[in-house]
Structure 1
Amino acid sequence: MKTVKICQWNTLADTLSGAFPQVNKQFLSWNHRSQLISQYIKNNNCDIYCFEEVDHPEFFETILQDHHFIFQKKQHNNDGILIAYKKTFKLQSVNIIPYLENNKVSNQFFIKVDFLDFILIATHLKAKTEFENIRRTQLEQLNKYLQENKIILCGDFNTQPQLEAVSNFMEISGMKCTNITIPTTSKNRGKLETNIKDYIFYKGVQLKQSQVGPTEGVQLDENGLPSEKFPSDHIFLIGEFDI
């Protein structure tokens, strides 16, 4: 048995960072945000990182030089999902699987990584409130790939735990979650919205400890995130597991 420390984080794509009118433009610049992202990554020193909304994959490679990388861009966007895992991990296979929407390949997908000891999956579900039914369908499709014994699933699900997509998924999959109480997003695009949209699910492994954001917490105000001291509108999650 070994302990694996995993980080889940939607780091906010540079190309999408202009959509926060209440936030000082200086705090939205990639130069400002990338320095903070680098600092938080180095402070937490995880074995595996699952990042969403990545449009500067080369940046992550420069600060995680003891990791291997899996990067897949969305079909219709500049950003994608990046998984970074320490070079000591033994990789068996990688599968990038698109979700189907109306029997067609959608813009969303998940990455299934088979390590020697367990399976890791990272995903980013369809956004916007009105697409809850599509997110439920996406998670039902994903559940078909969750039959193995030891699985950790990370992602930005774009929906809250009490709503249909996640509540149905937890019931049918039998997976546990590291956090369903502490908010993981805070944004103000005319109205402040603070809620949970990011998750680390697991089964067949033992959760040792978990945290939401840095140990000193993230300061939230009426402007939402990003802020001077935090680089994304999503707060990162960390889980430590005995595999």
Structure 2
Amino acid sequence: MEFLMKTSRLIVTSKTFARRVAVPIPSKVRMAKFNASQRHSHSLFIFSIILRKILYRKPEALMGSFNSAPKINNVDSQDDGLELPKGLSTPALLQHVQQLRGGGLEQPSLLNRYFVKSTVPDDDDEDVTDGLRCLKLNSVSRVCSAPVEGDGTQTIRLLQWNILSQTLGQHNDGFVRCPEEALTWQHRKYLIVQEILQNQPDVICLQEVDHFKFLQTVLGSQNYAGIFFPKPDSPCLYIEQNNGPDGCAIFYKRDKFQLMGYDTRILEVWRVQSNQVAIATRLRIKSSGQEFCVCTTHLKARHGALLAKLRNEQGRDLIRFVKQFAGESPLLLCGDFNAEPIEPIYATILNCDLMKLGSAYADMKMDREKILEPCDDANEWVSQSIKREPPYTTWKIREEGEVCHTIDYVFYTPEQLKIKNCLAFPDGEEIGKNRTPSYQYPSDHFSLVCDFELINDNVDGAGTEAKTHDIIQ
């Protein structure tokens, strides 16, 4: 309410100023002809200008350490010289990038993590993977879920991760406890590859991607195809030696899925475009013909009541976009929402009238039958889900202090998807006193990895037709 009152005063002031500088109107009669609709349109126009100033705030005001520099429109070219041996298997590729990283004992290994199975398994569900495979990579391996018999055709392993923009992370984010060498692209890029590929995901959703060509080359060698959508006014472009704008990306396994279509969205707040984006894809499992949709996003950062409200409005726009795209298909909606579970957007997503969604990491600790039970008290349902969320998905130390909270999520449609496993987060002792990013982890966010089983075999892609774009291979 305070924000709306202040905005109203700004609108009045702006209208007064506009009248002072406008071309004089010849007569009072013409003024009288301005009807209510025209006055309302003028107010909305002024309001949109004010809102744009908030959503597209100058980088130095937004990020805290930029100089007042003009935009530097560089393109993604820093990895143009990358060459990989042809025909490498995934284990061989990981061994190769380990060597490129430096190899040897002097290079700390990636943080060790493990999968946690649903606390209430099915009677016939005795293994932790339900057909999902595991790599045995010796020194670069982690404790992955064990393989079982079966082809895993109805299972989907999704990896969600804010990988940390190289431009922002190295030059602007102020990770005061991270060694400078650990923030270099030469060091980080191979750890990013290891974190992704040793988990063997079927679908990869990434945020803060400003080296898409590198990922496209490396992941493409393992039969992934990718889609990238940059922010319209990425803060990276205001920093010298940037590698182009950052944005969101989705990769998927070409041998397992067929891309049926995708769409992109610049998220709006009160009908004004913001600087945050989303990608939605429709995938068909080749072996069964079943379709499902995946959407990823990265919402507005920073704290404050106004920004929480803006994120909530972005979330509302996101839901409308996703519902129109996905129709009645199974949905995986993930990203860096920059919002703790207590923020309004969390309740907005779980209480959405357009589709029933659950949070995968929270639902891992709950009986599936209870997840599917009709709930009379939506607020209580959200409150219980909040309590089951992990304590953190990001843990870092900046100039203003230590930040440890949950802001990344994987939402899904419980009636059509069953959550099977989630990748656990390392504890504080394992992470180390300097937190992340570090020599052992390349981002300030941890990856979220979830195994899902498609349980609705009636889905045949009958949902809303997806907009078709040229596919980036």
Q: TM-score range by the shorter chain?
A: over 0.9
1:213 shift after superposition: 4.6
SS of residue matched to 1:228: coil
SS of residue matched to 1:142: helix
SS of residue matched to 2:431: coil
Quote the residue 2:430 is aligned against: 219
Evaluate the alpha carbon distance shift between residue 218 and residue 112 of structure 1 in structure 2; reply closer, same or farther with a 3 A threshold. farther
- What is the rounded CA distance, in whole Å, between the counterparts of 1:123 and 1:224 in structure 2? 25
Q: Does 1:195 align with 2:377?
A: no
Quote the residue 1:55 is aligned against: 210
Residue pair 1:213, 1:235 contacting (<8 A) in 2 also: yes
Residue pair 1:184, 1:212 contacting (<8 A) in 2 also: no
- What is the rounded CA distance, in whole Å, between the counterparts of 1:68 and 1:218 in structure 2? 37
Evaluate the alpha carbon distance shift between residue 133 and residue 45 of structure 1 in structure 2; reply closer, same or farther with a 3 A threshold. same
Quote the residue 1:71 is aligned against: 228
1:235 shift after superposition: 0.2
The Cα offsets for residues 171-217 of structure 1, whole Å up to 9 and x where unpaired, read as 22531112222411011113101011111110021111111457x99
Alignment of 1:1-243 (within 5 A): 2-18=154-170, 19=173, 20-65=175-220, 66-77=223-234, 78-88=245-255, 89-116=257-284, 117-130=291-304, 131-144=307-320, 145-146=322-323, 147-172=327-352, 173-179=355-361, 180-189=389-398, 190-203=400-413, 204-213=416-425, 219-243=430-454
Evaluate the alpha carbon distance shift between residue 47 and residue 217 of structure 1 in structure 2; reply closer, same or farther with a 3 A threshold. farther
1:97 shift after superposition: 1.3
- What is the rounded CA distance, in whole Å, between the counterparts of 2:424 and 2:263 in structure 1? 28
Q: Which moved more, 1:228-237 or 1:201-210?
A: 201-210
Residue pair 2:249, 2:279 contacting (<8 A) in 1 also: no
Q: Which moved more, 1:95-104 or 1:40-49?
A: 95-104
Task: Provide the TM-score with structure 1 as the length reference.
Answer: 0.93
- What is the rounded CA distance, in whole Å, between the counterparts of 1:148 and 1:112 in structure 2? 14
- Structure 1 stretches of 4+ moved >4 Å: none
Q: Which moved more, 1:219-228 or 1:87-96?
A: 219-228
Letter in 1 for 2:249: L
- What is the rounded CA distance, in whole Å, between the counterparts of 1:94 and 1:69 in structure 2? 11
- What is the rounded CA distance, in whole Å, between the counterparts of 1:90 and 1:241 in structure 2? 18
Q: Where in structure 1 are there 5+ consecutive unaligned residues?
A: none
SS of residue matched to 2:339: coil
1:167 shift after superposition: 2.4
Q: Which moved more, 1:223-232 or 1:172-181?
A: 172-181
- What is the rounded CA distance, in whole Å, between the counterparts of 1:205 and 1:139 in structure 2? 22
SS of residue matched to 1:137: helix
- What is the rounded CA distance, in whole Å, between the counterparts of 1:231 and 1:213 in structure 2? 15
Identity across the alignment (%): 32
SS of residue matched to 1:76: coil
Q: Which moved more, 1:201-210 or 1:4-13?
A: 201-210
Computing the radius of gyration over CA atoms, which structure comes out larger, 1 or 2?
Answer: 2
Quote the residue 2:74 is aligned against: none
Quote the residue 2:72 is aligned against: none
Q: Which moved more, 1:105-114 or 1:194-203?
A: 105-114
Evaluate the alpha carbon distance shift between residue 213 and residue 42 of structure 1 in structure 2; reply closer, same or farther with a 3 A threshold. farther
- The structure richer in helix per residue is 2
Q: Higher relative contact order by CA 8 Å / sep ≥ 6: 1 or 2?
A: 1
Task: Provide the TM-score with structure 2 as the length reference.
Answer: 0.49
Calculate the aligned-residue CA RMSD, in Å.
Answer: 1.8
- What is the rounded CA distance, in whole Å, between the counterparts of 2:429 and 2:346 in structure 1? 25
- The structure richer in strand per residue is 1
Residue pair 1:192, 1:223 contacting (<8 A) in 2 also: no
